[in-house]
Amino acid sequence: MTVRAADTGAEQEFVSRELEQSVVGRLVLTNDSASAYWNLKMGVEGLVQRDQQRYAAGRDTLFQFDEQRAAGFAEVNFSLSNKLVGRVGGRGEYSGVLHRWNAAPRVAMAYQLNEKTQLSGAWGYFYQTPANDLLLRAEQPRQLRFERSQHWQLTYLRTYQNRTLRVEAYSKTYAHLLRYAPNPANDPLTPFDPGTYRTTGTGYARGVDVLLRDKKTIKNGDYWISYGYLDTRRQQRFDPVLAVPTFAARHNLSLVGKYWLGKMHTLVGATYTYNSPRAYYNPNDLTGYNAGRLPSFQDFSLNASYVTTLWKNFTIVHVSCTNVLGRPNVFGYRYGATRDASGQFPATAVVPSAPRMVFVALLISINKKRPADTNTAPE
């Protein structure tokens, strides 16, 4: 990590330039012939990276970090019986910018209950370095650690006659998340000091995802319903306490339907999405950190795909429109840095630049060996 500054003497327009250069290499060896009941895969990875950000506004300042990362991994796929299979593996990694190693063991198992149903589970550790924008400004990156998460996952899958039911429960715990030390005002709106970066944050996420898909009940039709429940809290970056992140919605629902109009060679579809109110930080609210709640997010979209040929090539003309009903969704609020005459921080809602978006695309598949089939619905 290097920081250089040089006075230019006169005030000038603020200019920001970013440059990222990286070289990545990977070598993987697989032994599929080791046995009928197991095979081995192993490999190594290497990364050399340089990130730079330069600012010019009366003073020329350069932020930079150089990373050299090396990793090795191995995994064994095995079969204990016709119904029980598994995978055991691990990954080791070294980061030059952090001057640290990590080791990540992982295990996955799957059991076939019958011809239609499977039960599977997985456990493992996962690591990542702090985000590049934070490493660029960290004054002492060697005091930081890899951000870590531990995953538990259990999945039930049933597939029969073009109907699918998938239920997945998961639990994740987070450690060594990057945090900023509290500023004197303990106010997330106050600028932070890169010298206070520490990987002391924690958190968790647990929930259930359900997917039901049916391609049989309605002739030429296909629909699915997905629902996700999420309970999560984290303390990272600005967070003074463990809190619900601003990007997390507790309830997430999606309804998708498609219908193939064979005589018109057209696939029509509709999607409805609902996300329950998300948390946000309101400096005017003294009841707690991230105690504010946005309105729920809702979107109803329509789309159509016309299948044809162009120069004997399979072609799709796709048209879609989001938020057909024009719902005024709010993604958050921006607050002023100073209080107004009433003693409140003025707020501005963050909303889409336009209530709807229309997308038109022409997709051409060039495949001389496979004739175009305009009588079958595209995926």
Indicate if the pLDDT at residue 2 is higher than 50.
Answer: no
Q: What is the pLDDT of residue 190?
A: 55
Q: Which residue has the higher pLDDT, 157 or 10?
A: 157
Residues with Cβ within 8 Å of residue 354, at least 6 apart in sequence: none
For residue 183, is pLDDT > 80? Answer: no
The pLDDT tens digits for 112-133 are 999 999 999 999 999 999 988 8
Predicted pLDDT of residue 34 = 62
**375 pLDDT exceeds 80?**
no
pLDDT band of residue 9 (cuts 50, 70, 90) is very low
Q: What is the pTM of this model?
A: 0.85
Asked if residue 248 has pLDDT above 60, the reply is yes
pLDDT tier for residue 28 given thresholds of 50, 70 and 90: very high
CB 205 within 8 A of CB 231: yes
Euclidean distance between CA atoms 62 and 65, whole angstroms = 10
By the 8 A CB rule, do 74 and 45 touch?
no
Q: 279-280 and 266-275: which strand pairing?
A: unpaired
- Given a cut of 60, whether residue 82 has pLDDT beyond it is yes
Question: For residue 89, which of 104, 69, 67 has the smallest C-alpha distance?
Answer: 104
The DSSP-derived string for 280-348 is E--TT-TT-TT-EEPPPEEEEEEEEEEEEEETTEEEEEEEEEE-TT------EEEE-SS--TTSS--EE
Q: What is the pLDDT of residues 306-315, one digit of tens each?
A: 999 888 888 9
Q: Residue 146: exposed, middle, or buried by beta-carbon count in 10 A (0-12, 13-18, 19+)? A: buried
Mean pLDDT within 361-372: 81
State the pLDDT at residue 196. Answer: 79
Answer CATH for 1-243 from 1.10.287.990, 2.40.170.20, 3.30.1390.20, 1.25.40.80? 2.40.170.20
Higher pLDDT among residues 52 and 122, named by residue: 122
Bigger pLDDT: 186 vs 2: 186
**pLDDT given at position 188:** 54
Long-range contacts of 21-25 (CB under 8 A, 24+ apart): 21/49, 21/50, 22/47, 22/48, 22/49, 22/50, 23/47, 23/48, 23/49
In one-letter notation, the amino acid at residue 284 is: N
Where along the chain do its domains lie? 1-243, 249-379
Mean pLDDT over each residue of the chain, to the nearest integer: 89
189 pLDDT band, cuts 50/70/90, is low
SS3 35: coil
Q: Is the pLDDT of residue 186 over 80?
A: no
Residues of the chain with pLDDT > 90, as a percent, come to: 67
User: Where residue 58 falls among pLDDT bands split at 50, 70, 90?
Assistant: low
| Pairing status of strand 292-293 against strand 15-31 | unpaired
Q: What's the pLDDT at 378?
A: 76
CA of residue 68 relative to chain centroid, distance: 25
Strand-pairing partners, residue 12, are none
pLDDT, average across residues 95-117: 96
What pLDDT does 1 receive? 41
Say what the pLDDT of residue 3 is: 40
User: Strand 117-128 relative to strand 59-79: parallel, antiparallel, unpaired?
Assistant: unpaired
Q: Residue ranges of the alpha helices (H) in the chain?
A: 132-135
Residue 8 has pLDDT above 50, yes or no: no
Q: Per residue in 254-294, pLDDT tens?
A: 999 999 999 999 999 999 999 999 999 998 888 889 999 99
pLDDT for residue 303: 97
Q: Are 177 and 145 in contact (CB under 8 A)?
A: no
3-state secondary structure of 262: helix
Tell me what the mean pLDDT of segment 90-102 comes to. Answer: 96
Q: How would residue 181 be classed by pLDDT, with cut points 50, 70 and 90?
A: confident
Mean pLDDT value of segment 182-189: 56
Question: 265 vs 98, 246, 314, 321, 375, CA distance in Å?
Answer: 57, 43, 12, 20, 6
